[in-house]
Structures are given as structure tokens and as C-alpha cells.
Structure 1
Amino acid sequence: MRHVTIYDTTLRDGAQAEELNLTAQDKLRIARKLDELGIHYIEAGWPGSNPTDASFFDTVKSHTFANARLVAFGSTHLNRTTPENDPNLAALLAAETPVITIFGKTWDMHATKALGVSLERNLELIRNSVAYLASRVDEVIFDAEHFFDGFKHNPEYALLAIRTASEAGAARLILCDTNGGTLTSELSETVKAVMTALPDAEIGIHAHNDSELAVANSLEAVRLGATQVQGTINGYGERCGNANLCSIIPNLELKMGIQAIGPENLRRLLITSHFVSETANLRPFMRQPFVGASAFAHKGGIHVSAILKDSRTYEHIDPTTVGNSQRVLLSDQAGRSNILFKTRELGYDLDKTDTTVDALLKELKLKESMGFEYSVAEASFELMLLEALGRKPDYFTFRHFFVVDAKREEDAEPFTEATVIINVKGQAEHTAATGMGPVNALDRALRKGLERFYPNLSEIRLLDFKVRVLSGAVRDTGGTASFVRVLIETGDRHERWTTMGVSHNIIEASWQAVVDSINYKLLRDDKRRAKEAKE
């Protein structure tokens, strides 16, 4: 079996993405997680270029990694210096990493215009820098910057540049599609030419995604003989991003029969993807192949009916191989199969002939036509299911709410007060509370009336609140009279759940979502206590 080494540059190239900012501690946490995944090389940053990277390299010296080799990244030495007195090379060596990667110009136009040196002097910069570093660290990797554009313009010079790096002691030559504009057919011909010209060299690929081809180009380079792939987790990177390792790795392992990190580590791919997203404070891309929440999600009734018989009908791999799982969504496109799958997943075993199934399906389609979307609010669906089964617990009964918003001065914050009347265990509770807006005031007033009876409600916290204006819903009149959908994500020390409400009135929609959230919390607590009593 062929082996390919995986070189992760999330902490350096990925960190150049818009909206992505990492502290030194963030970088250390991600580096550990990448090591757990079985990544072979972790490019951690450019020493001396900024305080964050300087702090990281100082801190990481006291840490060891089980699988990965840490890499410091930089450029060839400056035109006005020699390797011995160049500050960039000095900073690279001071990082004390076993591997150093330097990039050099392989596009003649970049050498003469961007760098402002002659073509011969550019080769000297490459030769001198690689040779100086190669005698001082375990391994030097040469990133051939803009190689594919350079090869198109002047193939002889581009090849001469990487040959120079190889002869100076570079362990690997990385062909970089820095602008991300190379078509796969062009890349294929270029890689073949490199393999012919330098048959004994270790070749790698570093692709950017400006033409949405970074993954395809990386896989093609490997097919043709490249032994290292550079990329980032989730494809983070400057402009349109880098080659996405979360797609490259499973394609290598599962489709091409090439070992990258091995099947056991492959199962950690989704966890790693989400960990990096959370650490970077970015929402995971739900439609990302392999590791996205929607990667193995099924909505159409015909699809669900088929996967219940054999998941291969609509899934190209077993989702568990990458740490993901199959999901069945509930929508107006659902059939009986969707209902049966979801109810069994929730622990309710319904027979397909049960009249509850048809009733639920009818109610689901009606609610979805109004703007409800149970595929993203499964807690609300379970409560609707229990109501259809006649088993929904009666924790409290709504009688009345009243909300007042007042703004007395132009620059002052509005004042909000909510009054709630509910029946709880045979008693009428009349409570009032102020809040930061009507939803917060209602939530606080409702909890004030319930926590005396259900103390565990003090554990829950609002994690997310989203409002969306729905156009095209049944009875929608448009504009400010449109239906709105409110999604609330709530959590306690055990789990997180999402509930929703839909109405022309945003306060009513929010109230529906808040009530479902509280009812679901109480339901889960009852289930947990029942399970503990049995055990």
C-alpha cells in the first residue's frame, strides 16, 4: 500500500483566512489535536513575523508530540544579506523545530518584479538558504511558490529553480499553486514534466482553492506520484482557502487505497474538524463533504425508504469511517419512512400501520407549510410526537402573558416588563419580570413561576437565538406582516437542544420556542431519573 505524508498548515496558511484569529494558546490546542489525528507535519507559523507566533514557538518547546513533526516556516534570505546574518533564517533556527520549510520564487516574473533580483541571483538565494539550513536541522522542505504559473510562463526556469533547491539539500520539493488558478488537466501535465525531469526527487503538492479545484488538484498530484499533501483543516486559508484536508484524507484512504493517517485516526476526522472550528470561533460548514452535519442527511421520503433497506443506495461511504453519522430529516418532503426512522431514533417504537404515523405526517406537512422546520428543531418534534401519542407530560398550563415595551428618551435603552400567569400542579402562578427585551423578560417571568416547582430549570442557559423572516409561507402577507421563525438553542450540564416557534408575531414565536425548551428540559430530566432508578 502506498503511503502519503500529510502536512497541515492550518496554523500558518489557514490562519491567514478572513475572520480567523488564533491566540498562541489556541494554536497549541489545535496542534495537540492535529497530533492526535495522526498528522505527520504541523506547520505552526512564521517565527519572528508576529508576537503570536513568537509566543507559540517559545511555549511549544516544552511540549512533545506523538505523531507530528513541528515545522517553522519562512522565506529565503534577503537579497542584501547572507544566510549567516539573515534575521529571517536566524528566527527559523531559533524556533528549534526539527523541520523548516522555506519558500522561494520559481516564477521568473516574481523574481524580477516582486523580489527585484536577477534570475541568477534568485537561484543563489534558493541555493544558499537551503544549504545553510539543511546542515543545521533534520529536514528542509522547499515550497516552490507560484510553481504552476511559473511553469506556464517559463518551464525551463521553474524546473531549474526546484532542481537548485534539491541539489542544495531540500528533502522535499512542494509544487505550489499559489494563486489557485490551475486547472486539473494543466496541473497533471506539469506534474508529469516534473517527475520526468527530477525522477529521484520527493515531490509534494500545495494547492489553493480559488478555482474550487484544490482538493481535485491535490488528489491528482498524488495519483501521479506526489508523496506529500499540504492543506488545512476545513480548507481555511487566504482568499478562497487552501486544499481541504478533511476531504483529501478520506479520499486518499477510502477511494484511492493510499494510507495517510490510517483507519483508526480517520474516525477522529469529524471531531478534529469541529474542534478547529470551535477554537477559531467559526461555525462549522454544515454541507462540507465527509464531516459536515448534512453530509449524510436524508430528507426525501424515497431516499429514506431506500437507506433503511441498504444505506449504500444514497451514501457513498459508511459515515462512521470518518466519525460522522447518518441523519434523517423531517420536512414537508418526508414520508412514513422518515417518521418511523426518527421516532425509533428517539426511542419510540411505532408500527408502520399505526394511525399515529399518518396523523404525525399530516401535522408535520401542515406545520412545515407554515414555516416550521423540524429538521433543525428535533426537541420540538419530540414534544409534538408525544402530544400525538397522548403522552405529553403536563408540567404547566399557559393562561396569560402581557408584555410592555417603553422607550422614554431617544438615547436610552427601552424598558421591558413581562407578566405571566400559568397553572402549575394545581396552583396559579402570577409572576412578573423585567429583561433585556421582551423575550428575555418573558423567559425570566416564566422561570420565576416554575423554578419553585422544578429547581433544575436553574441549570439551563440560552446558547443561541435566531430569527428568520419567512417569505412564501401559507397565509404570508409579506413585508413586516410576514411569518417569522424563531430558533432557540438551549443547554444544561448534560446536553444541548433546539426548539422553535413560528408566528406573524415575533414575541409569540419566541414564546413557543421558550415553552418547548423548558418542557423538553423537564422531559429529559424525567427520562434521566427513570433510567437511573432502573439501574
Structure 2
Amino acid sequence: MKKIDVFDSTLRDGAQGEGVSFSVEDKLAIARALDRAGVDYIEAGNPHSNPKDEEFFRRAAGELRLSHARLVAFGSTRRRDSSAGEDKNVAALLETGTACVAVFGKASEWQVREVLGTTPEENLRMIADTVAYLAEAGRRVFFDAEHFFDGYKHNPLYAMQALKAAADAGACKLILCDTNGGCFPDEIRAITAEAVKAFPGKIGIHCHDDTGCAVADTLAAVEAGADHVQGTYIGFGERCGNTNLSTVIADLQLKLGFQCVPADCIARMTGAARIISEISNVRLSHSMPYVGKSAFAHKGGMHVDGVKKNPSAFEHVDPAAVGNHRQILLSEVSGRSALIAKISEVVPGLTKDSPELETLVGELKELEFQGYQFEAATASFEMVVLKELGRFRPFFALELFRIIGEQDSADRHMASAMVKVRVGDRYEITADEGDGPVHALDRALRKALEVFYPNLAGVRLIDYKVRVMDTGKATAAMVRVLIESSDGENAWTTVGVSTDIINASIRALVDSMEYKLYRDSLKREAP
């Protein structure tokens, strides 16, 4: 089984994505998650570009204990008309103490002349001098051939000369970069094959997703002989993002017979993707292959029936292989068999002939008539089933809540919430404030419940949606609120319905807290 090195750039290229900003603590946490996920290299930042990355490498040297991955410091080749030994960027790479460094240099003659503003000959010397200086200092050097594919299409001889300059100077890998993200798989495959022929065993691939082809481009490069892939774990990055490594790893290892990560790490993929999503504050797309919430979701009655008989009827891999799980969605196209299948997931052993089932189905249909919709809110569905069948022990009761809206002198719209909860024969009354009534309620309810259940401290609301269901009634209309919550490892969605948006929200919030407490209780009871 051929080994493909996995080089993750979430902490560097991913940090260049719109809306992404990592603290040093964030970067340390993501590095640990990537290490557990089995990647080989973690490109952690440019120590010369900002104090945050400099501090990260300083702290990583003392605090970060990686079991598999190796940290990589990133920087550019030396400046034109200077020497590598005098270049502050190059010095910063060495000062990190990482055994591996990545340096980028132009592989496009047009870019050299128009953007870098120097001669093609000087650019080749910049590449050679920098790589040689770092290699002689004992570093393992990855050379990122920036704009390689565009450069090759414009002047193939010069693009290959850039690779040769790095290889002759001691680079361990030559990374072909589709920096603008504009190439298609057939171009990537053909050009990569030429590079592999000239530099066997040294070629890697780094693609951006501006045509939506980054994953396909990366697979094409591997098929052409590249044995090193770069990207970000869940695909975010500059402009449209980078190659999604969670997809590439699964494609290569589960479908194409390559080895990317240790065998026991492939099942950690979904967990790693969710952790990175949480820390990055980037919502994990439900439709993301392998690790998305909907990757193994089935809605149509025929699909549900087929998957019950044989999962391979509508699943190309076992969800458990990547740490995900199957979802049976409920809707008007699902049919009774889908409803029974979903109920059986919550309470195993029930059959279509079980007497409790008729009552439960009736209750669910009544809730749907009121406006509840459980296709996305599977956690609320589970709560309804458990409560209706007498399988749920309440963890708390919300006795009352009050909301006060206010606007201060700085024209900020704040809200305060007070809640009273009962756990057994004990009461807790707590208040908090937030940016709006739902935020204030969420904080106050969580604060009150954490007195009894400290495990709720790690739960946070990550998405909030409101839908008006009968617009003809204007402000008196029934509204449906969907809340998605996460504890950093798992995410779940709950629903509330009312003519009062606050009441709908508190119903969804209470369901969310109850679901977390119930799930944690099952873990404690497990042998």
C-alpha cells in the first residue's frame, strides 16, 4: 500500500480564510486535534509575519507534545539581491526550532517579472540560496512552487527550472501549487506526470478550490504519481478555500487503496472535523463528504427501506469507518417505514405491531400539525419519543423566566433574563444579560443549570434559525425556532414552536440542555 504524506495547512493557509482568526490557544488546540487525526505535517504559521505565530512556536516548543505529526514553520525565499544568511524571514524559520520548514518561491516567469519585480535568473538564485541555507542548517525543507501550474502553461522550461533549483539545493519535497485555483483535473494530471518523471519521489500537490475542483485536482495529481498532499482539514482558506483534506484522506484510503493516516485514525475524522470547526468558529457544512451531518442522511422512503435491508444500497462506505453515523430524516416524503425506523433507533425493540407505536405516531403527527418539524431537529424528536414512551427521567424543570429589553446610552440593544429552575427539591434563581433576549436566556439558563450539572459548561449555541409558518397572520403568526448546539465533539439540533418567538426559543433551549444531560447519563451508565 503506497504511503501518501498528509500536510495540513489549517493553521497557516486556513487562517487566511475570511472570518477566521486564531488565538495562540486555538492554534495549540487545533494542532493537538490534527495530531490525533493522524496527519503527518502541521504547517503552523509564518513566524516572521506576526507576533502571534512567533509566540505559537515559542509556546509549542515547551507545551505541545505531538505523538505523530511534525510541526512545520512557513516562510518565503530570501529577498532579491541579498543573502539567505542576512534575511530576517529565513532567520525566523530557524529560530522556531522546528525540524521541518516550508518555503515558497515563484515558479512562474510572468509572476517573477510582473509581481516579484526581479529577473528570472535572480529568482532561481533566491530559491537555491534559501533552500541550501536551511538544508545545511539541518532542516527538512519543503519547497512550495508558487503558481507552478500557471507558470508551466506559460513557460514550462522555467517552471521546471524552479523545481530543479530547489531539488539541487536539498529540498526533500517539491510542492506543485495551483495558487490561483483555476486548473482542472486533466491539466493537473498531465503536468504533474511531467514533474514526477523529472523528480521521482519528490512531488507534492497544493490546490485551491476556485473552480470547485481542489479535491479532484489533488486526486488527479496522486494518480499521476504525487505522494504528498496539502490542504486544510475541512477546506477553508484563502478565497474559496483549499483542498479539503478530510475528503481527500477518506477518498485515498477508503476508496483508492492508499495509506494516508494510521488505520486507527481514520475513524477519528468526523470528531476532528467538528473540533476544528468549533475552535475556528467555521460552521461545518452538513453536506460535507464523510464528516458532514448529512453525509449519511436518508429521507426518501425507498432509500430508508433500502438502507434498512442493506446499508450498501445507498451508502458507499460505512459511516462508522469515518466516525460518523447514519441519520433517518423525517418528512412528508419519508413514509411510515421511515418513522418506525427512526423510532427504533431511539428505542430498539419496537416493531410496527408494538401497541405503544400507534399512540406515539399519533402524538408526532399532532406535533407536526402544530408546526413542529423533526427532519433537522433529531434531538427534539428523540426527546419526544423517550418522554412519550416513559423512558425519560427529567433532569430539571424550568419554573419561570422573565425577559427585560433595554437600550443604553451607547445605543446598544441589550437584554436581561432571569430564570428559576428546579432540580429535585432544590431551586436556583439566576440572571444574566446578552445581545438580545435569546442570548440572555441561553446564558441565564446555562448558568443556573451549571450549579447542578457542570458538564453543561462546554455547551454553546452555534446556530439559530427562525421561520414564520403562516405569514398571513403577520406578527401573530406561528414561528418555528431551530437551535443547533455543540459541546465541541458532537452537535445536535432542537426545535420549538409557538406564536411567541421567545417561548419557541426557550422550548428549543430546554430540549437542547435535556438532550445533552441525557446523552451524558448514557455514557456514565455504559459498562
Looking at structure 1, the residues matched to 517 and 132 of structure 2 have their Cα atoms a distance apart, in angstroms, of: 68
The structural deviation recorded for 1:138 is: 3.7
Report the residue type matching 2:461 in the other structure.
Answer: D
Counterpart-to-counterpart distance in 2, 1:477 and 1:434: 36
Matched residue, 1:140: 141
1:191 aligned counterpart, secondary structure:
helix
Counterpart of 1:289 in structure 2 is 289
Displacement after TM superposition at 1:94 (Å): 1.6
Question: Contact 2:405/2:413 (CA < 8 Å) preserved in 1?
Answer: no
Give matches, 1:447-462, under 5 Å. 456=452
- Give the distance between the partners of 1:79 and 1:269, measured in 2 at CA: 42
- Corresponding residue SS for 2:375: helix
TM alignment of 1:6-17, pairs within 5 A: 6-17=6-17
The aligned counterpart of 2:126 is 125
SS at match of 2:131: helix
TM-score, length-normalised on structure 1?
Answer: 0.83
Give the Å deviation of 1:235: 0.9
**What is the CA–CA distance in structure 2 between the aligned matches of 1:181 and 1:88, rounded to whole Å?**
29
Counterpart position of 1:174: 175
Deviates more, 1:183-192 or 1:378-387: 378-387
The aligned counterpart of 1:192 is 193
Q: Hey, what's the Cα distance between the residues in 2 that align with 1:310 and 1:273? A: 28
User: Which amino acid in structure 2 is aligned with residue 38 of structure 1?
Assistant: G
Alpha-carbon spacing, 1:199–1:386, altered in 2? closer, same or farther (3 Å): closer
Cα deviation for residue 317 of structure 1 reads 0.4
1:303 aligns with 2:303: yes
- Say if 2:22 and 2:280, in contact at 8 Å, map to a contact too: yes
Asked if 1 retains the 8 angstrom alpha-carbon contact of 2:360 and 2:389, the reply is: no
Please list every run of 5 or more consecutive structure 2 residues that lacks an aligned counterpart in the other structure.
none
Q: Shift in Å at residue 7 of structure 1?
A: 1.0
Sort the Cα spacing of 1:88 and 1:300 in 2 relative to 1 into closer, same or farther, 3 A: same
Distance 2:332 2:401 in 1: 34
| Structure-to-structure mapping, 1:204-243, within 5 angstroms | 204-243=204-243
The answer to whether the 8 Å contact 2:346/2:386 transfers is: no
Secondary structure, aligned partner of 1:341: helix
Give me the whole-angstrom Cα distance separating, in 2, the residues matched to 1:57 and 1:446: 39
- Verify the 8 A CA contact 1:233 1:244 in the aligned structure 2: yes
User: Structure 1 vs Structure 2: percent identity of aligned residues?
Assistant: 43
> Quick one: which amino acid aligns to residue 504 of structure 2?
A
Asked whether the 8 Å contact 1:233–1:246 carries over to 2, the reply is yes
Given that 1:100 and 1:137 are in contact with CA atoms closer than 8 Å, whether structure 2 keeps it comes out as no
Q: CA deviation at 1:183?
A: 0.9
Match of 2:252 in 1: 252
1:203 CA displacement = 0.6
Question: In structure 1, how many angstroms separate the alpha carbons of the residues matched to 2:382 and 2:188?
Answer: 51
Q: TM-score, normalised by structure 2?
A: 0.84
For residues 76 and 371 of structure 1, what CA distance do their matches in structure 2 show?
A: 61
2:501 is matched with: 506
> Secondary structure of 1:182's match?
coil
Distance 1:367 1:476, change over 3 A: farther
Q: Does 1:318 align with 2:318?
A: yes
State the match for 1:485 in structure 2: 480
- Which stretch of structure 1 is more off in the superposition, 434-443 or 187-196? 434-443
Give me the whole-angstrom Cα distance separating, in 2, the residues matched to 1:22 and 1:105: 28
Per mean C-alpha deviation after superposition, the further-off stretch among 115-124 and 478-487 is: 478-487
Q: Distance in 1 between matches of 2:396 and 2:322?
A: 43
Residue 17 of structure 2 contacts residue 239 of structure 2 at CA under 8 Å; is this kept in 1?
yes
Amino acid at match of 2:481: V
Aligned counterpart, 2:343: 343
By how many angstroms is 1:206 displaced?
Answer: 0.5
Q: 1:30 to 1:300 in 2, by over 3 A?
A: same
Question: Does the 8 Å CA contact 1:215/1:247 hold for their aligned counterparts?
Answer: yes
**Runs of 5+ unmatched residues, structure 1:** none
Q: Secondary structure at the match of 2:317?
A: coil
**Kindly tell me: are residues 191 and 303 of structure 1, through their superposed partners in 2, closer, same or farther at Cα, counting changes over 3 Å?**
same
SS in 2 for 1:234: coil
1:186-216 deviation line (CA, Å, top 9, x unaligned) = 11221122233x1435111000111111111
Name the CA distance, whole Å, in 2 between partners of 1:458 and 1:169. 54
Which has the higher mean CA deviation after the structures are superposed, 331-340 or 510-519?
A: 510-519
CA distance in 1, matches of 2:444, 2:173: 65
Give how far 1:136 is off: 1.4
Q: Which amino acid aligns with 2:126?
A: L
Q: Which residue is 1:275 aligned to?
A: 275
The residue identity in structure 2 corresponding to 1:45 is: G
The 1:83–1:374 alpha-carbon spacing in structure 2 relative to 1, beyond 3 Å, is: same
Question: CA distance change for structure 1 residues 190 and 384 in 2, over 3 Å: closer, same or farther?
Answer: same
Matched, 1:377 2:372: no
Following TM superposition, by how much is the alpha carbon of 1:160 offset from its aligned partner in structure 2, in angstroms? 1.6
Distance apart, 1:456 and its partner CA: 4.9
Are 2:86 and 1:89 equivalent residues in the alignment? no
* 3-state secondary structure, aligned to 2:2: coil
Q: How far apart, in 1, do the equivalents of 2:71 and 2:444 lie?
A: 54
Letter of the aligned partner of 1:163 in structure 2? K
Matches within 5 A, 1:103-122: 103-122=104-123
313-322 or 404-413: which moved more? Answer: 404-413
Amino acid in the other structure paired with 2:16? Q
After alignment, is 284-293 or 349-358 more displaced? 349-358
Deviation of 1:185 (Å): 1.3
CA distance in 1, matches of 2:28, 2:248: 24
CA–CA distance in 2 between the matches of 1:64 and 1:438?
43
Residues 73-84 of structure 1: matches in 2 within 5 Å?
73-84=74-85
Aligned-residue offset at 1:244: 0.8
Q: How does 1:329-408 map to 2 (within 5 A)?
A: 329-347=329-347, 349-354=349-354, 356-357=356-357, 360-361=360-361, 363-364=363-364, 367-368=367-368, 371-385=371-385, 389=389
- Kindly state the Cα deviation for residue 488 of structure 1 after the two structures are TM-superposed: 4.7
Deviation of 1:60 (Å): 2.1
Query: 1:174, CA displacement in angstroms?
Result: 0.7
| Paired letter, 1:208 | H
In structure 1, distance between residues paired with 2:269 and 2:389: 39
Tell me the secondary structure at the aligned position of residue 237 of structure 2. Answer: coil
1:44 aligned residue? 44
Task: Name the stretch that deviates more: 268-277 or 383-392.
Answer: 383-392
1:266 equivalent in structure 2: 266
1:470 aligns with 2:471: no
Quote the offset at 1:126 in angstroms. 1.4
Q: Matched residue pairs, number? A: 521
Give the drift of 1:119.
1.3
Amino acid corresponding to residue 484 of structure 1 in structure 2: V
Give a deviation string over 1:243-264, Cα, whole Å, max 9, x none: 1110011111011101111321
2:150 match = 149
State the 1:297 CA deviation.
1.5
